[in-house]
Amino acid sequence: MYKVHLENFDGPLDLLLFFIRRDEIDIYDIPISHITMEYLNTLDQMQQINIGVAGEFIEMAATLMRIKSKMLLPRLQKEEDIEDPRSPLVRQLLEYRRYKELAQQLESLAEERSHYFSRGFESPIPDGEEDPGVYLRQVSLYDIVHYFKVAMENKPIISRYELQREDISLDDQKAIILANLDEKGFLKFSVLITKLETKIELIVTFLAILEMIRNEEIIIVQRKLFGELEIQIRGKNS
């Protein structure tokens, strides 16, 4: 029996994708009884060693049980056209997998670009501590990728005549970020996006943000629940 630790996964969808890859399962035809058993066994392992299980993992367990129950019900002839109970879960998994793959690609690109953009960056980070009440503690690479993915989808398609190599560096985009901070050291993502005209600018800006976060030059904050994400220079109080 495999031992799986929940702390190795970003969330329940990540865990389910692990089972699908490990057992070579067709994502479009998930054996719900098998995957539910594996999932519940993993949660049981965590509870046996007194490790708390996040609510989102428990919620997914309930979803799997509900799907399993629907799959066991006899289907009437007139119900043949009703959607497969697994379909919503499959759509979630496919979407999450796309975001995860995009995140991995962008991280690889960031690593690759780091070899080309090696010039140091000095950030005017003031002394002091950030206001802990402002942090969006749940923000993840997935959330940031999702934001930039939507922004890229909303950018107009560039004609073939404009497909020339743009000389845009991480330092250029860092400078744009810093130049647009307000007097308190904040910059809304929506404001930043309006400053970017092409998809390559979006991609390089995304990489610049990742590098600045990794170097602890900035943090991503949120003033209220479900509010807009903002960039904040580290050390600035809200």
Q: Evaluate whether residue 214 is within a structural domain.
A: yes
Q: Evaluate whether residue 204 is within a structural domain.
A: yes
Q: Evaluate whether residue 59 is within a structural domain.
A: yes
Residue 221's pLDDT is what?
79
Residue 101 · residue 209 · CB < 8 Å: no
- For residue 222, what are the contacts with CB-CB under 8 A and spacing of at least 6? 134, 135, 136, 139, 228, 229, 230
In a shared domain, residues 188 and 226: yes
In a shared domain, residues 88 and 130: no
Q: Evaluate whether residue 38 is within a structural domain.
A: yes
In a shared domain, residues 90 and 174: no
In a shared domain, residues 225 and 134: yes
CA 171 to centroid of chain Cα atoms:
24
In a shared domain, residues 90 and 129: no
Residue 171: which domain range? 124-159+166-233
Count of structural domains within the chain: 2
Q: Evaluate whether residue 45 is within a structural domain.
A: yes
- Look at the pTM and tell me if it is higher than 0.95: no
Phi-psi bin for 50: left (phi > 0), alpha (psi -120 to 50), beta?
Answer: left
pLDDT truncated to tens, each residue of the chain (238 aa)?
A: 445 556 567 778 888 999 999 999 999 999 999 999 999 988 887 776 655 566 788 889 999 999 999 888 876 656 566 788 999 999 989 888 887 777 677 666 656 555 544 333 333 334 444 444 444 444 566 667 777 777 776 665 443 334 344 567 888 899 999 999 988 888 998 899 888 887 778 888 888 888 888 888 888 877 776 677 888 888 655 4
Q: Evaluate whether residue 118 is within a structural domain.
A: no
Q: Tokens standing for 177? A: 């970020």
